[in-house]
Structure 1
């Protein structure tokens, strides 16, 4: 493909994204949820080590975080078919751009989740260690670990529900975008 063809494809996708308020609302929701999940996953080892006092507990913490999603996902994917016959998908022309943006949003959310945990630990006086060294963490650092694993993700999930309220995609919206691209 020529450079202008690539540019045209990207620009078409971004114009579609600009017109798709529903996708933007869903993307914002997803990024906030990825950020919340990222903070919990980044904090799992700290919780196991410093709160539960067992580095082996990280397996249990990880399973407790990921397990419910593995069990619930099949039900969530079937739910739209059960409650509605409206199609809630993008047209095939936008799928690649939307998928790329979706993946970028997930990556940003997870990366910022780890950053949020690091900043919280730094702000609360966490003492970094190297293998084989033993330290006692200050009480403020333990509190920071607990907050970054509980309150922070809860607030982010709550914020994601606010962005989800703006999601209103229906078949007519998809047809309007398809007609404007024609």
Structure 2
């Protein structure tokens, strides 16, 4: 029996998620607002700037996953790709928020190109990093512990994104200068966490194989894992809901609650609570079952999101923050359990195919997750465009007056749209439970014969 993993190793692995949490959240939270209300880019064009680079990532991530498996077969590690992404991403991230020219057209092109390059660098880190939990231990309980540490670190990263990043920008007066400062400081923190995670994970021996697979062969091998794709579908719908909420938070804070600085307060309430709730969800999942807790948390998450609609419409800041705390508790379960189930379905697939390929599976998973998170700002931008939202002019710092249709649209986009997406994920979770149980029944006779 493999010994329990020491906490220093779990922390060493998990700390990389501080960086992934920052990059996953900051562009979704601030980039759309930066483009429309700081640089004067129209909502429709700004939405395209956010979606196109991440659409590229959807294509790139499976390629990186297959490359990561090939590297692991050659070297027994995934460190090279991890370091390549960790060292290049901070510079590109800072460049996104450092547009050098006062021109909406140039700003859109610059931010789009820098975001495309940054997303590519992020894929080089994220895909092999997510593959590591399937290889960190032979014991499911230890893999679950590793994911709990990772989720806590991930929530710290999102807390930096939602709490520190807007506050940094605001402390420097907002506008272009404030966002440039935020990009440089937050990019440095992100890079430090990711480099630390890459170097601290070198002890994890990767065991893909028995032979390297090309991308097409890896995808063919993965295609028959039906529980995996049910999990991917559910996680993608939930990530899309989160992406829509991230994009909408600055608009709700500014135009409904009357203070952009409440963006930070809302995310401190949600993510701070989430980090504290992770250990409790681990206990509940062991006692009542992973999927049962997952479904319950998702339904309550959806109900809380819908309950925000009348509260935000009324401009009630206190109740809005209180509901956000409840959302944070549920968000902890959604993050923890989805990530804990991923290495288990990867492990189960080895018995079906005889081929371990965690990089290929995580390439597909992160492609879906990345695409969904990127689509969130695009969906919210589309809502703004359809409801006649007015972007702020470059020559003024005051938010542009908005018609009632835009106020109604941004409120519904932040509350009701995510609630619907979360509810749509529930049938997929139930399908995952059924398919995973059927897979286990199929594999048990094989294990007895062996």
| TM-score using structure 2 length | 0.35
Secondary structure at 1:167 match in 2: helix
The 1:173/1:32 distance shift into structure 2, 3 A limit, reads farther
Instruction: Quote the residue 1:99 is aligned against.
Output: 362
Instruction: Quote the residue 2:235 is aligned against.
Output: 30
The 1:16/1:66 distance shift into structure 2, 3 A limit, reads farther
Shift of 1:66: 2.5
Shift of 1:95: 1.8
Shift of 1:100: 1.5
Instruction: Quote the residue 2:320 is aligned against.
Output: none
User: 2:228–2:345: 8 Å Cα contact kept in structure 1?
Assistant: no
Q: Give me the CA root mean square deviation.
A: 2.9
Shift of 1:101: 1.4
Of 440, 446, 449, 1:172 maps to 440
The equivalences for 1:1-182 within 5 A come to: 8-83=213-288, 88-91=344-347, 93-129=356-392, 130=394, 131-168=396-433, 169-170=436-437, 172=440, 175=443
Shift of 1:174: 8.4
For residues 83-111 of structure 1, give each alpha carbon's deviation from its aligned partner in whole angstroms, at most 9, with x where no partner exists.
46xx9442261322121111111111111
Shift of 1:173: 6.3
Unaligned runs of 5+ in 2: 1-69, 72-210, 290-340, 351-355
Aligned length: 174
Shift of 1:17: 2.6
| TM-score using structure 1 length | 0.81
The 1:63/1:163 distance shift into structure 2, 3 A limit, reads same
Give the Cα–Cα distance (whole angstroms) in 2 for the partners of residues 89 and 75 of structure 1: 23
Give the Cα–Cα distance (whole angstroms) in 1 for the partners of residues 441 and 379 of structure 2: 36
For residues 52-97 of structure 1, give each alpha carbon's deviation from its aligned partner in whole angstroms, at most 9, with x where no partner exists.
010111111222333343233333345444446xx94422613221
User: 2:218–2:357: 8 Å Cα contact kept in structure 1?
Assistant: yes
Using the TM superposition, name which of 136-145 and 166-175 deviates more. Answer: 166-175
User: 1:27–1:102: 8 Å Cα contact kept in structure 2?
Assistant: yes
User: 1:89–1:174: 8 Å Cα contact kept in structure 2?
Assistant: no
For residues 112-165 of structure 1, give each alpha carbon's deviation from its aligned partner in whole angstroms, at most 9, with x where no partner exists.
100010000000010001352442111111111100100000000000112111
Give the Cα–Cα distance (whole angstroms) in 1 for the partners of residues 244 and 217 of structure 2: 34
* Structure with higher RCO (Cα < 8 A, 6+ apart): 1
Shift of 1:20: 1.1
The 1:48/1:112 distance shift into structure 2, 3 A limit, reads same
Give the Cα–Cα distance (whole angstroms) in 2 for the partners of residues 158 and 103 of structure 1: 21
Give the Cα–Cα distance (whole angstroms) in 1 for the partners of residues 272 and 411 of structure 2: 21
Unaligned runs of 5+ in 1: none
Using the TM superposition, name which of 87-96 and 30-39 deviates more. Answer: 87-96
